[in-house]
Structure 1
Amino acid sequence: MAFPSASSVLWSVSLLTALFAAVVHSNILYDDDPLQPVTSDETVSVGGTVTLTCRVTENDNSSLQWSNTAQQTLYFGGKRALRDNRIQLHRSTPTELSITISDVQLSDEGEYTCSIFTMPVRTARATVTVLGVPGKPQISGFDNAVQEGGKVTLTCTSTGSKPPAKLRWYSGDKELEGRPDVVESVPDEPTYNVSSELSFTVGRHDDNSVITCAVDHPSLGTGDKRSEHPLRVLFSPEVEIQPESDLPREGEKFHLHCVGNGNPEPSAYIWEKKDGELPPLSKVDGAYLRFEMLNKSDNGVYICHADNGIGNGQGEYTLQVQDPTAMSPSSGVDHAVIGGVVAVIVFILLCLLIVLGRYLIRHKGTYLTHEAKGSDDAPDADTAIINAEGGHSGAEDKKEYFI
């Protein structure tokens, strides 16, 4: 019996190996092929978990297999092939092989292959995209207070994003316009560092306001990472003079308070009276001007100057001293109540007078009627009443009643 030569055997093995490799690496998809595996691309953030699923419609008892980007077998059916505790079996059935990769790193990005060892071998590929999560933004460039009208420049930086993150500036809920982001790639890493600059002129209304830098990136979903930086603005004071009461009365104690709204608070105060000198009985006590006993000669316009080292401001107050008998607001209220009570009493008295008048008018009519009854034969009014009543006694009664 003749045996094939060694060279022919080696040639046949090489041919079969080449054909097998061509089939394994083939990307041809067979339409309506129930044995063709189906996968899907996945996106995951660094540190997250991704699930890779491979399915076929039917199976001829052939096993499904997952391989990594280096073509190392991860799982063959339900059996682990690579010792990596991050990779776990999720589901294994004749028509499905699903695995999970936890704590995903940037190095896990790439193309994963699902194969089914039929004749020929069928494959499908799934691309895993790993997002680099940006670090919390850091704001720099503004450490000390700045004077009103000065210019402030802030820089916000975020590192480690992939793809590059987008930086946004806010003052409260209002978005501010910063310079275009500067993107720098990290050496030996597929990530980027992003920075943005914001410049603006500050006013007193910016004091204690908060500037926010927020990072916008698909790895953060609907949220974002942000840092806040409060502003401190120095500005000259706005001055207002507040009186002790709204009704300064002669002979009483009284004071004026000079309130300076500035940053920092005013440290020096100067009091003066317009068109004259301060009254001899007045006393300057820093932000207060005190009067031990008010007099009408104290009337006039008083001015307070407040200085905080950044600038100064002034306020005015016109003092009008009232008589000691001047009605206070509370006494005005009391008088209004008393006036109301008096009006009610007067109304009741008027009603009583009307009732009494009607009563008297009615009885006077009765007397006139009786007088008319005897007036035909009587020489005078008294005789007429006696005649109308029919007797002397009745006349006496009527006369007493009338009187």
Structure 2
Amino acid sequence: MARRDARNWSSCTQKMIGLLCLIASILTQHGTSGQRVKVEPEVLSYPGQTVNLRCAFTDATGIQLTMVTWIYEPKDGERINIAVFHPNFDPNYPDSPVKGRVSFTPSPPNLASPSIQISGVRMTDEGKYICEYATYPSGNEQGITFLVMLAKPENSASIVTVVAGSKPAVVARCESLNGRPVAQISWVTTANGNATTVSKPGADNTVTVTSEYRMVPTATDNGKDISCLVAHRTQVKAESFLMKLAVQYAPQVSIVGYDNNWYVGRPNVMLTCQANANPVPTSVAWKTMSGEMPDTVQIKGNELKVLKVDETVNTTFVCEVSNRIGTTRDQVTVMVREPPQNPSNVGVVAGAVIGSLLAVLLVAALIAVLVTRSRRQQQGYRANGGSDMKTRIFGGGKKASKNGTGGGAGSSGIGGGNNNGPIYVYNESSSHQGLGEKNNHHQPLTMGGRPEVVATTPTAQDILLSNELDDAERRKFDELEEEERYDHFTGGAPILQLRPPHDQDDMIGDYLDDDMESQRDGSVISRTAVYV
């Protein structure tokens, strides 16, 4: 039993192997024959041109070529013989759509290269052309060429004007007219929509392609870019049509210019009515909710100007804008406020007054200092002006009596305990040698033929200039008895010490300003005096 199954399996295996070998042989033979008939896979042509369809048998070794037949197979039709060649007969051209326009080339033809040409090709000539050899012992072998007829289309695109709404509508259209093969149309845009494409036969076996872009149009879509791209085999690159969407809508209105700070008396405030619309607005109208327009209002187009704000402006202004699609309005309510209070300027005024007073005081102080200094310098110059004036100051009342001026003069001009004693002037140029009062400028009083000495209270100037006495006067004072020069100065009041001769040059300037000191009785003395 097992042996019988083994024999059956062996027999089946041999049959299967034989069948596979047969199939492989057939496929190999078919592939070899297909490769030996050489044709062009595709030929392109425009209407009216002449096309050449080439065919050749490359390797005829061990094979007898009997006959060649060209067959035309339309896209939607049956096969038709259009040209037949047998070496023993003349070429034959059966009835076909290309009869009279087809012929073998070269002429006369040969089996090794039986090419044909078709003149004045038409769009209907497009299809499959088969070059078929009858051989022995291989049988028929063939090669297929596709004739593709080209027709450059007429491309165009257009915008469809629509009104904004809630339903889809065609907003753009693109068309490729009478092309061959079928054109490819695509869209590029930021608008939210989709395209529908339809193809239909055109003239002379061409195709017309129409594509429409649909969307729900809105006001914001108006003016957006949209492009139609048409790609075709006859074109190097796709043809592009750039357009802008045209969506019509009613005006969109807004009033600007109110800053919520309209107060009584404020001048020249303005409201502007801004409107976006497609098509453009045909009218702009200003109104108020109360029905009456204030007298201070001027209207010019879309502008409302208030010359001066008052209580009548305390209302609601309405702007209405219209176009062919419709009318839209906007409004603004104005609330008139009280005029703003001017900020108090008391502080500013007070600051200005105080600053002015300080400036005046500063200038006055400066002027006083300058005037005082000028007067002091002028007094010093007057006292020191005459070269013949020599002064001496002393501090007791006994000096007057010793000089023989008389008891009246001595009692009236001398103060017992005051160092501000009289100042005597000695005039060298006078014919009467004597002493006179400095303040009288050398006007002596004669008593018994001699100049009379008059005692007076010395000034600060006299004290400063007192050490201009010459050496003769110094000697006169040195001869006085010591008790007489100091008896009357027991009160402890200061007296002046004569300066050395080398300090005389600077006495008027530096000494006058820096060395003087005021006393309680109104006199001025030097700080360098010696106290005893």
* Structure with more relative contact order (C-alpha pairs < 8 Å, separation 6 or more): 1
TM-score normalised to the size of structure 1?
0.47
TM-score normalised to the size of structure 2?
0.37
The structure with the larger Rg is 2
